[in-house]
A and B are shown apart, each in its own frame.
Chain A
Amino acid sequence: MVRSQSDAKTIVFEPQLCTGCRYCEVACAVWHCGRIDVAQSRIRILFDETRTTEHYSAINCQHCDDPICCAVCPPEALQKDEKTGWVTQNSSKCVGCEMCIVACPLSVPFFDAALKVAVKCDFCFGVPECVKHCSSGALRVYAREEAVRFNERLYLSAKEEQ
């Protein structure tokens, strides 16, 4: 398979830098629906002080190369843009079967009860608001290859699964 992903970018999250201010959630909600309603936010920050390491974690779309959400979407409303690397959803095609919500291990898409469709992170079609407003630099935009290496170090090497 030939992949032309030189321009593809991904949002990465570094748990050690996160301060838990949750500005990203607010910025996301404001950009997408014009009001401070974090329930509408496409990103979620978790905080757990009982853990020894990694007190923070972010639930954000990884804009996968082989997206599980796209694979299960019956009307193919979810598409991966090969050029930009964004996994975006076309709400006019979405039928509200909630299959993407079910299949994504992070359950990133969520169901919008008013529109009766699933909604998810769309990379703000450019510079993501969550990254723009992250004061500590925990959320960053990396080139695809770099992000893959970064996430490998963070989530795979610690468990020695590679």
Chain B
Amino acid sequence: MGIQATRIYRFDASGCNGCDIEVLEILALVSVAELGVEIVETPKEANVLLVTGGSNLKSKPELESAYAAIREPRLVIAVGSCAATMGIFKGGYAMTGPIDAIIPVDLYIMGCPPRPQVILGALADALQLKVEGMETLLRTPQGFRGDPHVDQGKCIGCGACANVCPADAIEIVESEAERLVRFMRKDCIFCASCQEVCPTEAVELRAGDSAWFRKKEASTSEARLERRTCLVCGTPFLPDAQMNWAMSRVDEKLELGTGDRSKLQRSLNICMQCRRKSIGEVREAKSILASLASRASGRGARC
């Protein structure tokens, strides 16, 4: 695509306007005219469609006609979480998106909203523009958070991050053999709650990676955890790593006798349903707790 021919038409498909403000912020960063890009007022003149928002019942026909009107070769850039996944509007009664359900999308820019520097970087990449000092512009500024990354080695798969995430950007997928913790960075609003609650500091919101993607699936960060099989019913339940972490934490904080420790170890190999199903298992569990209590009371008497 020749630089001279780049004409951008902006389309707001019912977002909160946060992304639109960030798009306009580009004008403060660079002179668009110098880059050879023109921002046009009607889709007929354009060949690039810059879409923000997740599309609702009213904007859907407009979006379709705008896409039909822009010139070939068409390039559609979806800006922000809403355009990619409907973001915080997911499940809304009037929502018809995400954008790629309506028209083909060539590039997704992540963020809620994406920083103007990131939008500029994505445009520069997609339209082969040369921007002075792009490297510096793309770097996440001091004091700002980047996108979430999960460390496969540290993650124990407990799911605390998924429970606190206000944007539903983290999903737990369970298959027969493993539990998958998937961070969908396009949904992320950079609140860093996941980083804060992670018991093993496996999540980090760090800067550096490119924040735009040709394929939606590429924008994930994942950890895969092997699941432990229940001793009693033989079905896989929680991740091995989580059980081992719990045991190491117990070893760190409490002084268990060898008998109690091996019993507790066994109880960690039993799924939560089986622990509470039979009187025999409950008895076994209560005997661990009774033995711990009797040790503790003995200790109290000595002191």
Contact = CB atoms under 8 A, between A and B. Distances in A.
A74 B246 CA distance: 10
A57 B70 CA distance: 72
Interface in B186-215: 197, 199
Q: Place the interface of chain A in its size category.
A: 35 or more
A26 B268 CA distance: 29
A103 B275 contact: no
Contacts of A54: 279, 283
B290 A156 contact: yes
Interface in A56-82: 56-57, 59, 62, 64-66, 68, 70-72, 74-75
Nearest to B253: A71
Given A68-B264, A71-B250, A105-B267, A151 B159 contact: no
B234 interface: no
B297 A65 contact: yes
B163 interface: yes
Contact of B160 (A44, A95, A145, A151): A95
Contacts of B246: 72, 99, 102-103
A58 to B, nearest CB: 8
Q: Place the interface of chain B in its size category.
A: 35 or more
A151 B162 CA distance: 39
Interface in A74-116: 74-75, 95-99, 101-103, 105-107, 116
A75 B200 CA distance: 11
A133 B246 CA distance: 35
A33 interface: no
B289 A156 contact: no
A57 B199 contact: no
A1 interface: yes
A155 B283 CA distance: 7
Nearest to B199: A74
A65 B296 CA distance: 6
Interface string B268-291: 100010011111001111111111
B69 interface: no
A101 B272 contact: yes
B1 interface: no
Nearest to A74: B199
Contact of B288 (A55, A95, A96, A105): A105
Contact of B159 (A46, A96, A145, A162): A96
Given A95-B163, A103-B250, A154 B290 contact: yes
Contacts of B242: 99, 102
Contacts of B299: 1
A145 B300 CA distance: 10
26 contacts: A2-B300, A3-B296, A54-B283, A65-B293, A68-B250, A68-B264, A74-B160, A95-B197, A95-B199, A96-B160, A97-B159, A97-B160, A98-B158, A99-B199, A99-B246, A99-B249, A102-B246, A105-B263, A105-B267, A107-B272, A116-B164, A145-B297, A148-B294, A151-B294, A155-B286, A161-B259
Given A1-B300, A97-B163, A156-B294, 10 more contacts: A1-B303, A2-B300, A57-B283, A97-B160, A99-B245, A102-B243, A151-B294, A155-B283, A155-B290, A161-B287
Interface of B: 158-160, 163-164, 197, 199, 238, 242-243, 245-246, 249-250, 252-254, 259, 263-264, 267-268, 272, 275-279, 282-294, 296-297, 299-300, 303
Interface of A: 1-3, 5, 44, 46, 48, 51, 54-57, 59, 62, 64-66, 68, 70-72, 74-75, 95-99, 101-103, 105-107, 116, 144-145, 147-148, 151-152, 154-156, 159, 161-162
